Amino acid sequence: MDFNQAVLTVFIVGAALIVAAMAAVALTSGGAPQPQSEVQPRGYALRRRWFWALAAATVLALIISLPHLPYPSASAMAADMHVTVTAQQYGFTLPAELPRGRPIIFDVTSRDVNHGFGIYGPDGRLIGQVQAMPDYVNHLPFTFTVPGHYTIRCLEYCGVGHAYMQASFEVK
């Protein structure tokens, strides 16, 4: 299972658990009632545990995610190969061929409006992206490990030709 499908699976399992838990509580409302004064103390005790569980999950998510941010480090900016990408309604200017296994920094900008520079791998999966903005250059670090045909699609709405704005390159 790739990363994209893993995220979807986590969501579906989480959503199913939320719905199931709320449905289970709804079913209790048909049984013998309990006074609010009895339900509340137990509920508040459970809420404390729920708070700490959610806090732990949040800290864990931050610990896992923050070291994997897509932003370039200063050392990578200095050492890596730079590739200029220019977006313009409705196309991209970039090299037709890129090396495999070599760290690259895409220097992405736009000549007109905001665009998105979305990289789709040979298997059709979205594997990374950055915005292409007028007056600014965004630096996207990327290392291609799989050879093949890659497609670029615009991922920021840019006008009537947005859906047709794409380009491609080969990684060898």
Partner 1 sequence: MNALTLEERGISSRVMWLYLGTGLAVFALMAVLGLTMRMAQATWISLDPTMFYAIMTLHGAGMITSMALCGMGGLWSLMYREHRMRPSVAYWAYGLVVAGVVAVLLSVFPGKFGAGWTFLYPLPFIGATWPSWATGLFLIGIALVTAGWIVWCIQMFGCVVSAYGGLRGALAWDLVFHPKEFAASGREAPPPQAFAALVASVDGLLAGAAGMLIGVALIVRWLSPSTVLDPLWAKNLTFFFGHTFANLTIYMAIAFVYVGLPRYVDREWHTSQVLAVAWWGTLLFVATAYFHHLYMDFVQPRSVQYVGEVASYLAAFPPAIVTVFGGVLLVYRSRMRWTLGSLFMYAGMAGWIVGGFGAVLDATIPINSILHNTLWVPAHFHTYLLEGVLLFVLGWVFHNLEERSGAATSALVRWIAGLGIFGGGAIFLLGFYVGGADGVPRRYAMQPPPGPEISAWASTGAIILLAGLVVVLVEGIRLARKRAASAA
> What part of residues 139-168 is at the interface with partner 1 (CB under 8 A)?
139-140, 153-164
* Ranges of H-type helices in the chain: 3-28, 36-65, 74-79
Residue span 31-70 as binding mask against partner 1, x where in contact by CB under 8 A, dash where not: xxxx-x--xx--x---x--xx--x---x--xx--xx-xxx
Return d(Cα 169, Cα 150) in angstroms, integer: 5
Least Å distance between CB 113 and partner 1? 5
* Nearest alpha carbon to residue 88 among 108, 59, 68: 108
The phi-psi region of residue 47 (left if phi > 0; otherwise alpha if psi is between -120 and 50; otherwise beta) is alpha
If one counts every other C-beta atom within 10 angstroms of the C-beta of residue 171, the result is 19
Q: Measured from the CB atom, is 81 or 126 closer to partner 1?
A: 126
Among 99, 128, 167, 170, binds partner 1 (CB under 8 A): 128
The yes or no reply on residue 138 touching partner 1 (CB under 8 A) is: yes
Structure tokens at 168: 């491609």
Least Å distance between CB 26 and partner 1? 6
Residue the block writes with tokens 């895409």: 106
The yes or no reply on residue 129 touching partner 1 (CB under 8 A) is: yes
Residue span 67-106 as binding mask against partner 1, x where in contact by CB under 8 A, dash where not: -xxxxx----------------x-----------------
